[in-house]
Amino acid sequence: MTAPVDPGFLGYQPTIEPLKLTTGASFVQTIQPSGGVQFPANTAVKIVFTAPGGAVLDTWNATVTATAATWAVSNVTADAIPANSRYTLLVTYASAPPVTYAWYEGTVLRT
Distance in angstroms (rounded) separating the CA atoms of residues 69 and 55? 25
The partner residues of 19 in beta bridges, in order of sequence, read 108
Distance in angstroms (rounded) separating the CA atoms of residues 65 and 49? 23
Q: For the chain, which residues make up each domain, given as ranges?
A: 15-110
| Pairing verdict, β 99-110 and 15-16 | parallel
Give which of 69, 58, 73 is closest to 103, Cα–Cα: 69
DSSP label at residue 3:
P
Is the pLDDT assigned to residue 72 strictly greater than 60?
yes
Contact 14, 102 (CB under 8 A): yes
Distance in angstroms (rounded) separating the CA atoms of residues 20 and 103? 17
Confidence label for 11 from pLDDT (cuts 50, 70 and 90): confident
The predicted-structure confidence for 73-111, as pLDDT tens digits, reads as follows 999 999 999 999 999 999 999 988 999 999 999 999 999
> Which of these CATH numbers, 3.40.190.10, 3.40.50.2030, 1.10.10.60, 2.60.40.10, describes 15-110?
2.60.40.10
The predicted-structure confidence for 12-67, as pLDDT tens digits, reads as follows 789 999 999 999 999 999 999 888 899 999 999 999 999 989 999 999 999 999 99
Rg (CA), the chain: 16
pLDDT at 81: 98
Is the pLDDT assigned to residue 8 strictly greater than 80?
no
